[in-house]
Structure 1
Amino acid sequence: MRIAMVVALTEARPTRQQPAYALSVFVASVTAAPRSLEKRAAPQGIDVSGFQPTVNWNTVKANGVSFAFIKATEGTTFISSSFSSQYVGATNAGFIRGAYHFAHPDSSSGAAQANFFLAHGGGWSADGITLPGALDIEYNPNGAECYGLSAAAMVAWIHDFSNTYHAATSRFPIIYTTTDWWTTCTGNNAGFGSQNPLWIARYASSIGAVPAGWSFATFWQYADSGPNPGDQDIFNGDAAGLQRMATG
């Protein structure tokens, strides 16, 4: 994604009870890099978009990466032209994979954007290889940081998206954000940690504080570049836990 990246609207990304498949809190220090974690606990992942139109998934798999998030949609007008080939490629290479949606809370309702996402690759099935869809909610790449919404209006928008997605799939979407944005734009609302897995972005050697309501992050995006294409991610658990998450 994504953090603090200002680009055209069509490619913006800078930036449940708690799921039993995720371990408590990430160890406070996971040093810059993945190589020491390959094929062990804390499975490695990547997330990609149209900025990485061609990914050699077999090579990425051989590097020890086991899951991927792939950009599908943005707002209610943009569908990534790379999504289909990336998703099929990841599937054929044996990845656990899922789609993500970049939110524009100023352009339409949460329900409208959830339905657009669902209609263009963001669905979920209990097949053991599909992660619940992710809502990428973060810094506005083209205007006011919080999209001109009050904290209360932002919280209502996220609930609208989340509840619509849950009604269609039986799964609550993963929420991708930063602690700074969440604190600023939702008032550090604590109302999502009991249902939505957290995917936190922080490019540092430790994950730092997580937003209110969550006691840990399920996914950590720890770098925007590395030995594999796209952003670099870690799952907070083991390979069996990751597959349980995909199975539901």
Structure 2
Amino acid sequence: MPLTRSGPSRRAVPGTVRTPAVLLAALTLLLVLPGIAQAEGADERPTHPDKDWMGSTIRAHEGRASAEPASSRTLTASVEGVDVSSHNGNVAWSTLKTNGTRFAYVKATEGTSYHNPYFTQQYNGSYQSGMIRGAYHFALPSNSSGSSQADYFASHGGGWSKDGKTLPGALDIEYNPYGPACYGKSQSAMVDWIGDFVRKYKQRTGRDAVIYTSTTWWKTCTGNSTKFSGTNPLWVPNWGASVGTLPGGWPFQTFWQYTSTGKTVGDHDRFNGSYARLQALANG
């Protein structure tokens, strides 16, 4: 419908309706046409991906409560690591390496449109410092399918190569930073979404993705599903003296994010095993 600007120097085009209500309806129609704006769940672009990193929403929802002493899981051997994203900017990898950090995970992607602008410095910098490195994807299950997000991740930094220095990619699945905690999905639908992601990721890379999640979120949003405990390594956050109770039937954790206030960068992690076992995980 043609629209004209009203004013004393213009004539209305015959057939043009200039009532405010109809104009508003026309503009509303334009906003929902394909290519103008996308409906919810149709690959919408995240509005603040720089604020979404491993544990950012867990800290907001669950706070800093210490792990349950009764469920303490002491690490007899462990390797120190960190996880970073764009909010860390350019990372001082040599400082971290000097202080004992041996591996790093770097946020690569979120949804199907965001790629960490600091990814090259962080991912390559950790590698060049002599660390074993990996990439992670911040999941937005209400945004698009698990398969499409795994594809985007694998194509934008989440790939894997058997070079002895690259860890399998990680799926960061936690509270929704843009809406309802479980992204508007039922527990069974969430399990299906995660399954869709890890199947596609393995198809693309040959590796089982690591799953990062909190016990509380996993119980709430998947019904404490045990579907992935036999295939996908677990990464659990618990900022206390122990790992605490694990979710989903996993008999042990592979990674433990034990603090969000560490030196040089906030998030520090421990691999549950020796350095030789970490190298074995990198080699597949």
Q: TM-score range by the shorter chain?
A: 0.7 to 0.9
Structure 1 stretches of 4+ with a deviation exceeding 6 A read none
Please give the alpha-carbon distance, in whole angstroms, between the structure 2 residues aligned to 1:9 and 1:234: 25
- Tell me: CA distance 1:213–1:28, structure 2 relative to 1, closer, same or farther (3 Å): closer
Partner of 1:142: 178
Q: Which amino acid aligns with 1:42?
A: S
Partner of 1:3: none
- The yes-or-no answer on 1:74 pairing with 2:110 is yes
- The yes-or-no answer on 1:217 pairing with 2:253 is yes
The percentage of counterpart residues that share the same residue type is 51
* 1:228 Cα deviation from its structure 2 partner: 3.1
Alignment of 1:182-221 (within 5 A): 182-221=218-257
CA deviation map 1:9-53 (0-9, x unaligned): 4431214xxxxxxxxxx96357xxxxxxxxx93010000001111
Matched-pair contact (CA < 8 Å) for 2:154–2:205: no
Partner of 2:43: none
1:89 pairs with 101, 125, 145, which one? Answer: 125
Q: CA RMSD in A?
A: 1.6
Return the structure number with greater relative CO, CA threshold 8 A, min gap 6: 1
1:28 pairs with 48, 57, 73, which one? Answer: 73
- Return the index of the structure with the highest Cα Rg: 2
Q: Which amino acid aligns with 2:248?
A: A
* 1:72 Cα deviation from its structure 2 partner: 0.3
Gaps of 5+ in 1: 1-6, 16-25, 31-39
Q: Which amino acid aligns with 2:73?
A: A
- The yes-or-no answer on 1:246 pairing with 2:282 is yes
Matched-pair contact (CA < 8 Å) for 1:90–1:97: yes
TM-score by length of 1: 0.87
Matched-pair contact (CA < 8 Å) for 1:129–1:243: yes
Aligned length: 223
Partner of 2:97: 61
SS in 2 for 1:215: coil
Gaps of 5+ in 2: 1-46, 59-70
TM-score by length of 2: 0.76
2:155 pairs with 100, 111, 119, which one? Answer: 119
Q: Which amino acid aligns with 1:170?
A: G
SS in 1 for 2:240: coil
Q: Which amino acid aligns with 2:146?
A: G
Please give the alpha-carbon distance, in whole angstroms, between the structure 2 residues aligned to 1:101 and 1:135: 5
Matched-pair contact (CA < 8 Å) for 1:10–1:78: no
